[in-house]
Structure 1
Amino acid sequence: MTKPYIRPRRLRASEPIRALVRETVLTPADFVYPLFVVPGERVRSEIPSMPGIHHLSADMAVEEAKMARGLGIPAVLVFGLPEYKDEQGSSAWDANAPVQRAIARIKDAVPGLAVISDVCMCEYTSHGHCGLIKGDDVDNDATLGLLAKTALSHAVAGADMVAPSDMMDGRVAAIRFALDDNGYDNVSIMSYAAKYASAYYGPFRDAAQSAPQFGDRRSYQMDPANAREALKEVELDIEEGADIVMVKPALAYLDLVRQVKDSFLLPVATYNVSGEYAMVKAAAAQGWIEEKRIVLETLTSFKRAGADIIITYHAPDAVRWLNG
């Protein structure tokens, strides 16, 4: 029997050799760590559907931000639960709201950390939708000014980047104009450009208390069946001034991450969302999977697909495992 002359296994024979030829390498600099901030002081309360992730008051968010920066994670993404909700979500741009307070305190205490703020209305409206309601639907154009006002309040508080997640048409341009007109032309925009109406968001809606009180979000978030539409959405957001574009969720949409990466020159982010995180945590708790290997394999797949930025609740653990 003729022996193989070409043996790919030679380059898999030992860990040092595998490391030399590894094509995709995760580093702490790839990650953004999400934080959920709430009213009060000294609050650190675990979110039941997201083990290891907590609701944090602004002072405790500072401590979490310090931890992240100490691990080498370059940025946090701040979400907020307000003290009050109303029909128009007016607490979203309240200068004394949890997000604005957390941004200011993190930037003061951890100046080397980039702070990104989520810009949406769903956590702040009494009906749980991502904008003003007209009839039975969200009024797209009437919502744009509120999103711009919210983004501007985050910039005033010290945010380095704002991340509109609402999927209203034209919101990137509205935010860009508001920032530029008020002297915040260096605050960048990471747009949730291709955000799908996904069942993977379930635990987040628990964490952010943002489930819609009626209907659903399929009239503004994307149909999971559509790919070409995602490229159109990304192109429009780039034309409106987005600096970074995002595909969300991550795991079931890696084909879109690759298509966006191959089609456009901007940095591409993807969001390893709450449902993806919770499934891993639940299976690991039952001993059905090896959490460390599953997490690092999954995060590597995001980067291999083309993601430059990975937003993930696993970030601190992933860094510890990478450095271990």
Structure 2
Amino acid sequence: MVFGEFHRGRRLRRTPFLRDMVRETELRPDDLIQGYFVVDTADPNFERPISSLPGQSQLSVERLVARVGAAMEAGLRSAIIFGLPEKKDPVGSGAYADDGIVQKAVMRLKETYPELVVVTDVCLCEYTSHGHCGLIDGRGEVQNDPTLELLAKTAVSHARAGADIIAPSDMMDGRVGAIRMALDDADFSHIPIMSYAVKYASCFYGPFRDAADSTPAFGDRRGYQMDPANVREGLREAAADLSEGADMLIVKPAMPYLDVVRLLRDNFDVPLVAYQVSGEYAMLQAAIANGWLDGKGAILESLTGIKRAGADMIITYFAEQVLPWLSK
């Protein structure tokens, strides 16, 4: 029976080696940034598992150093650090204190592993007693402009401690410009800014708020984080941050917003990062634990899909787990 000419795509799928040769998207160790939660504690052996993030823990500085070292042996190149201070106050002073928890952690990491690329999250929510990302006025509103000075102070303190990349996540207007100016004035013009330019007010952040103890004491963050229904707004936010001096852009979350990742990839020729957030991680872990998904396959497919959409790098809590797989 003659069917005529038609495309035979299966010719290039026939063997594993053929599939490898024509693969369009490659996931590499350099693409992955592992998130860590470090706690200001006098106990050097402190390690508290995070129930909503299976496999992740709140760590003392010393336990953080040990865990990062083990991950580096498997190929880890970069980490992003989130801090839990000993005390909180209305102005989030622990965020920009020279002896703050992130500052201490960064100094120890860079002292021990100078080649590690250390990214620091710059925000006030983990340090304020009210849990919001900026200063609060008498009406309970987040104040944009007064917050910028504190974010800039935080960024400079992180750079002084040895951070390689500053990543502001607060979503205050103008914060990239304020941070860039402060870094330049403090002789840190060489430090790049990886801006959470397109950060949505997402329900997928729940486990992170457990891990970082950053749930707002009142209200929510919809007044400064983006509406999940909007996509064109993301272009405006990204363009604004680049005009203020951002060197890299982040889309957060990742998987529910792959269309946004692709839109930014097609419109901006700068390094693009997608953040596979805590809720995405927790959902996959729950399905894997119940036997509903093949763990290795689902994790790698999720990360490959994010990269295929256009991300150059991925912030993910799976990095430690995935690295040994990529070396084989």
Normalised to the residue count of structure 2, the TM-score between the two structures is 0.97
Tell me, what secondary structure is at the counterpart of 1:188? coil
Amino acid paired to 2:164: D
1:73-222 aligned within 5 A: 73-134=76-137, 135-222=139-226
Q: Determine the C-alpha separation between the residues in 2 that align with 1:250 and 1:98.
A: 28
Amino acid across the alignment from 1:32 = I
SS at match of 2:193: strand
CA RMSD of aligned residues (A): 0.9
CA contact (8 A) 1:57 1:98 kept: no
Structure 2 unaligned regions, length at least 5: none
Match of 2:243 in 1: 239
The alignment's TM-score, normalised by the length of structure 1, stands at 0.98
Identity of aligned residues (%): 55
Aligned residues: 324
Unpaired runs of 5+ residues, structure 1, are: none
Q: Matches of 2:228 and 2:96 in 1, distance apart?
A: 31
SS at match of 1:77: strand
Cα distance 1:23–1:145, how it changes in 2: closer, same or farther (>3 A)? Answer: same
- Alpha-carbon distance in structure 2 between the residues aligned to 1:53 and 1:95: 27
Q: Hey, what's the Cα distance between the residues in 1 that align with 2:4 and 2:99?
A: 69
| Cα deviation code 1:1-30 (max 9, x no counterpart) | 324643111111110110010000101010
1:295 equivalent in alignment to 2:299? yes
Deviations 1:234-276 (CA, angstroms, capped at 9, x unpaired): 0000000001001000000000001101101110000000000
Q: 1-side partners of 2:128 and 2:282: how far apart? A: 26
Conserved? CA contact 1:163–1:190, under 8 Å: yes
Aligned counterparts of 2:100 and 2:67: Cα–Cα separation in 1:
19
Structure 1 distance, partners of 2:123, 2:324, is 32
Partner residue in 1 for 2:64: 61
CA shift digits 1:206-259 (9 cap, x unpaired): 000000000000000000000110000000000000010010000000000011
Structure 1 residues 4 and 133, CA gap change in structure 2 (3 angstroms): farther
User: Residue type of the partner of 1:21?
Assistant: V
> What is the deviation of 1:72?
1.9
Partner of 2:2: 2
Q: Which runs of 4+ in 1 moved over 4 A?
A: none
Instruction: State the secondary structure of the residue aligned to 2:166.
Output: strand
Letter in 2 for 1:288: W
Letter aligned with residue 175 of structure 1? I
**Residue 317 of structure 1: CA displacement?**
1.2
Structure 2 Cα separation of the partners of residues 294 and 322 of structure 1? 14
CA distance in 2, matches of 1:221, 1:243: 21
Residue identity in the other structure for 2:21? L
CA distance in 2, matches of 1:318, 1:192: 24
1:71-107 residue CA offsets vs partner (Å, 9 max, x unmatched): 2221100000001100010111112121111000000
Matches of 1:280 and 1:204 in 2, distance apart? Answer: 15
Contact 1:83–1:97 (CA under 8 A) maintained in structure 2: no
The one-letter code of the counterpart of 1:2 is V
What one-letter code is carried by the residue in structure 2 that aligns with 1:53? Answer: Q
